[in-house]
Amino acid sequence: MMVQVPRRKVLLGAGLALLPIYSLRADAIPLDVFNIRDFGAKADGTTLDTAAIQCAINAAATAGGGTVYLPAGRYLSFSIRLKSRITLLFASGTVLIAADPSKHGGHYDLPEPNPWDAYEDFGHSHWHNSLIWGEGLEDVAIIGPGLIDGQGLTRFSPDAPWSVGVGRGLPSTPTLKAQIAKNEADIKSMNGLGNKAIALKNSRNVTMRDFSILRGGHFGILVTGVDNLTMDNLKIDTNRDGIDLDVVRNVHLSNLSVNSPTDDAIVLKSSLALGVVRPTENVTITNCSVSGYDVGSMLDGTYRKGQLKNIEPHLTSGRIKLGTESNGGYRNIAISNCVFDCCNGLALESIDGGVLEDVTVSNIVMRNTTAAPIFIRLGDRRRAPAGTPIAALRRVTISDIDAYCLDKRYCASITGIPGASVEDVTLSGIRLIYPGGGTAADAARKLPEAAGVYPDPDMFGVMPAWGFYMRHLRGVILRDVELSTLSADARPPVVTDDVTSLKADGLIAASAPGIPLQPVQL
């Protein structure tokens, strides 16, 4: 039986009242719009509208593309499959709600097979088990001032099989067998669940603008293998990662607000999830705010901290990070004009064999950080096939950083490992104000190398310096760096170990209030 697909014409002039297109010029209003209400959507928040939304998308795709419009209302849904040349347009007052398989009699699309999932956590390796997903797309957009509420998504994601010993050549033991069995059970338990609000794979020419996400699952947005991506004016208030961009190219992020107390806010990765060694490159991140307040309290404007009492300090994350997955490396990355509030600081990491190079960071303000304000780490985890080379990290410039009320335990740190030094780092116009309170015992600590350890900013424990710790570096410039504390600190302001070709001009410090800033001798 042939089904006639409804199609609404929206004409300029009086007919415009039929569709409240937001923030578009009159000469830019789309003439052909597929309204999901015409396809049977109930918008009552209790009836599943998955089929109606998908039918509208399919109809638009069949027509060669178009705008799929979600007018004001509450739409309950499982997986929605985005298609090429489609714009999803949310009206003001639109809420797309992620359904709960345990309550709503349905399930999310199953995670697709991935022969490379041994090396990546489950969430990084699968895209179909999401509220909105697309693969192999071009010319798509998700726009409009609506809300995606991921209340039915899970934040859980099993570890990578590699992490529990699969493919690592470890001797078989009862403990290892139990870990592998648990990992396999965890992966199987994900069938039917959704753990991402939006996931796109191997696509190009993508725009996301003006919407909000609440409780996005493991990833509010996961974008992998996407070229030409623009994100602007998004608000994400979530229970794990906000935005993860993996092996992407030509990306522009601007005017984003991301609150994520228990994981990272904006993360660039370069994993093996696609089975290729490819860098993340040509990325700008500007005019963004990241934080770690209670989930939901950024969107409602209360900025609460009550839930944070039960969170380990370094897990109050909410930061901007390059890493941890870093098989392909990073190049040509510019981060500027961003605010960090009640969260971890900036992290630049390469530990899985990739090369991190040509990265600039400028005009950053931080307050109430919960770990190192600047954390640069070259490590040797090498979660990758045998024969992968050791990582490299070089040509990084960080300038004009103003950070206040930092965690007294964790100074800024730049560390390589024996035989693999961080190279060519320039720090200028840096002002870091710490609480003080470090002891002589802290100053005497000898830090482990921890070459293969996951690179959390608290990985070394309490630091033997209160301002900067640098180890295994070659070619460092410190220019106009001001370090101070709000109370006395028995540790030195700067500790260096195996640092060569260091130039310092205007490095000054004071380890107690009332003491004038003095030049630091290195």
Model pLDDT, residue 309: 66
pLDDT digits (tens, 9 = 90+) for 94-109: 999 999 999 999 999 9
Sign of CA dihedral 270, 139, 219, 413: positive
Q: What is the rounded average pLDDT of the residues 476-485? A: 98
Confidence band for 399, pLDDT divided at 50, 70 and 90: very high
pLDDT digits (tens, 9 = 90+) for 308-325: 666 665 567 899 999 999
Which of 229, 266, 56, 53 lies closest to 148 in space, CA to CA? Answer: 53
With a pLDDT cut of 90, the percent of the chain lying above it is 89
Average pLDDT across the chain, whole number: 93
Reply yes or no on whether the pLDDT at 4 is more than 70. Answer: no
β-partners of residue 83 are none
170 compared with 337, residue with greater pLDDT = 337
Reply yes or no on whether the pLDDT at 7 is more than 60. Answer: no
Q: Give the residue carrying structure tokens 């490379």.
A: 116
Model pLDDT, residue 310: 62
Q: How far, in Å, CA of 163 to CA of 188, rounded?
A: 17
Confidence band for 17, pLDDT divided at 50, 70 and 90: very low
Hey, where are the domains in the chain? 313-522
Confidence band for 28, pLDDT divided at 50, 70 and 90: very low
Model pLDDT, residue 522: 85
How does DSSP assign 394-428, residue by residue?
Answer: EEEEEEEEEEES--TT--EEEE-BTTB-EEEEEEE
Tokens of 463: 């630091």
- Return all residues near 97 (Cβ < 8 A) that are at least 6 apart: 45, 74, 75, 76, 77, 149, 151, 152
Q: How far, in Å, CA of 26 to CA of 229, rounded?
A: 25
What are the phi and psi torsion angles at 398 (to 5°)? -125, 125
Reply yes or no on whether the pLDDT at 25 is more than 50. Answer: no
Which of 269, 265, 264 lies closest to 283 in space, CA to CA? Answer: 269
State how far the alpha carbon of 281 is from the alpha carbons of 230, 401, 423, in Å. 14, 23, 19
Which of 248, 266, 473, 295 lies closest to 376 in space, CA to CA? Answer: 473
pLDDT digits (tens, 9 = 90+) for 241-256: 999 999 999 999 999 9
Helix/strand/coil for 476:
strand
Model pLDDT, residue 314: 54
Reply yes or no on whether the pLDDT at 517 is more than 50. Answer: yes
Model pLDDT, residue 19: 45
CB of 371 closer than 8 Å to CB of 407:
yes
pLDDT digits (tens, 9 = 90+) for 113-146: 999 999 999 999 999 999 999 999 999 999 999 9
Q: Give the residue carrying structure tokens 């092996």.
A: 247
Model pLDDT, residue 30: 53
Q: How far, in Å, CA of 131 to CA of 143, rounded?
A: 16
Which of 495, 497, 522 lies closest to 507 in space, CA to CA? Answer: 522
pLDDT digits (tens, 9 = 90+) for 403-420: 999 999 999 999 999 999
Give the single-character DSSP code of 219: E
Q: How far, in Å, CA of 518 to CA of 412, rounded?
A: 19
Model pLDDT, residue 287: 98
